[in-house]
Amino acid sequence: MNQIEPHGLQPEITKHSGVGLVTIAGLSVVFGDAKSQTIALQTTDLTLEPGTFTAVIGPSGCGKSTLLNAVAGFTAPTSGSIHVDGREVSTPHPSVGVIFQNFALFPWFTARGNVEFALKRFGLSRKERRERAMAALAEVGLEEHSRKFPGQLSGGMKQRVAIARTLAADPDVLLMDEPFGALDAQTRLRMHELLTDIWMRRRKTVLFVTHDVDEALRLADTIEVMATSPGRIIQTVSVSLKRPRPVDRMSEDFLELRGQLLSLLRNED
């Protein structure tokens, strides 16, 4: 049965173990100074179990990206803590990979060059970098396009390169900030299928930010619903739809969950 549960406190860090465990405890993020402050994220507790796929949805300005950036180590918490596999996050974490909406590819590198460049920080040999880059590009279906530059690729192919670049580093946790938001509907559906296939093979821990309820339902095991003013998690929704999930949105279970999620979001407008 699909379940909607009130969001509450999560277990302590010491009660969990495993690769890809993310534990967020008492997290808040406040921007500005003493005279003018904006609470981007109110006290938040959340645990992402290893190998799970969690989506975060909510209206603009509710703190979705702030939450992701804090887990990535890009935004410092005002209070509280974030741990990945027991190690506190204060700067970008080597076990965490991030995929953005804007692809962030270097136009002067080929697809393979973009993936290889991201591997330089690991001290790998040129041969190792090339092998890992080609393996990652093959995994996203771009092996035959490895010598093309970003300007020669479609939007969907660029995002595949961005995914390959992150996969090549083999992080334990994948953070994705509306990665398919700039793509057309048909390409987005293909990317959903690709991401699901990759996740089912690799079982990375995924935190996926989106404003699209249907996208969240197609991809996630759990959906965290956020509200604004201040940004906070208001509900945790368990998704038990069988995988692989068809594109057809007319199944009874899908429509029931969709209606519940839309109702939650409308109530927070």
Mean pLDDT value across residues 195-201: 94
Higher pLDDT, 60 or 173: 173
Q: Concatenate the DSSP letters of all residues of 130-182 into one string.
A: HHHHHHHHHHTT-GGGTT--GGGS-HHHHHHHHHHHHHHT--SEEEEESTTTT
With respect to residue 145, please indicate whether it lies within any of the assigned structural domains. Answer: yes
Helical packing angle, 185-202 and 155-168, nearest 10° = 20
Is it the case that residue 123 has pLDDT exceeding 70?
yes
pTM of the predicted protein model: 0.88
Q: Is the same domain home to 22 and 70?
A: yes
| Angstrom distances, CA of residue 185 to CA of 54, 118, 180, 181 | 22, 29, 9, 9
Mean pLDDT value across residues 100-112: 92
- Report the DSSP pairing between strands 232-238 and 3-6: antiparallel
With respect to residue 64, please indicate whether it lies within any of the assigned structural domains. Answer: yes
Is it the case that residue 140 has pLDDT exceeding 90?
yes
CATH number for 188: 3.40.50.300
Q: Is the same domain home to 82 and 185?
A: yes
Q: Is the same domain home to 51 and 89?
A: yes
With respect to residue 114, please indicate whether it lies within any of the assigned structural domains. Answer: yes
Q: Pick the last residue of a domain from 142, 170, 198.
A: 170
The model's pLDDT over 15-55, given as tens digits with 9 standing for 90+, comes to 344 589 999 999 999 998 777 888 889 888 999 999 999 99
What is d(CA 48, CA 25) in angstroms, rounded to the nearest whole number?
12
**Which residues span the domain enclosing 193?**
3-95+171-267
Give the tokens for residue 161: 């390169």
Sheet of 205-209: strands edge to edge?
3-6, 232-238, 222-227, 53-57, 205-209, 173-177, 96-99
Higher pLDDT, 61 or 138: 138
User: Which DSSP letter does residue 27 get?
Assistant: E
The model's pLDDT over 212-241, given as tens digits with 9 standing for 90+, comes to 999 999 999 999 999 998 899 999 999 988
Q: Pick the last residue of a domain from 131, 155, 170.
A: 170
Burial of 5 (0-12, 13-18, 19+ CB in 10 A): exposed
Mean pLDDT value across residues 134-163: 95
| Identity of the residue numbered 116 | E
pLDDT at 18: 58
Site of tokens 């949805």: 57
Q: Concatenate the DSSP letters of all residues of 89-142 into one string.
A: PSS--TTEEEE-TT----TTS-HHHHHHHHTGGGT--HHHHHHHHHHHHHHTT-
What is d(CA 121, CA 168) in angstroms, rounded to the nearest whole number?
12
Structural domain count, the chain: 2
Would you call 266 helix, strand, or coil by DSSP? helix
Q: Is the same domain home to 177 and 247?
A: yes
| Angstrom distances, CA of residue 165 to CA of 81, 97, 115, 153, 209 | 28, 9, 4, 15, 19
pLDDT at 7: 45
The model's pLDDT over 151-164, given as tens digits with 9 standing for 90+, comes to 999 999 999 999 99
With respect to residue 122, please indicate whether it lies within any of the assigned structural domains. Answer: yes
With respect to residue 128, please indicate whether it lies within any of the assigned structural domains. Answer: yes
Q: Pick the last residue of a domain from 170, 191, 210.
A: 170
Q: Is the same domain home to 35 and 162?
A: no
8 A C-beta contact, residue 172 and residue 19: yes
With respect to residue 101, please indicate whether it lies within any of the assigned structural domains. Answer: no
- Report the share of the chain in percent with pLDDT over 90: 68
8 A C-beta contact, residue 81 and residue 27: yes
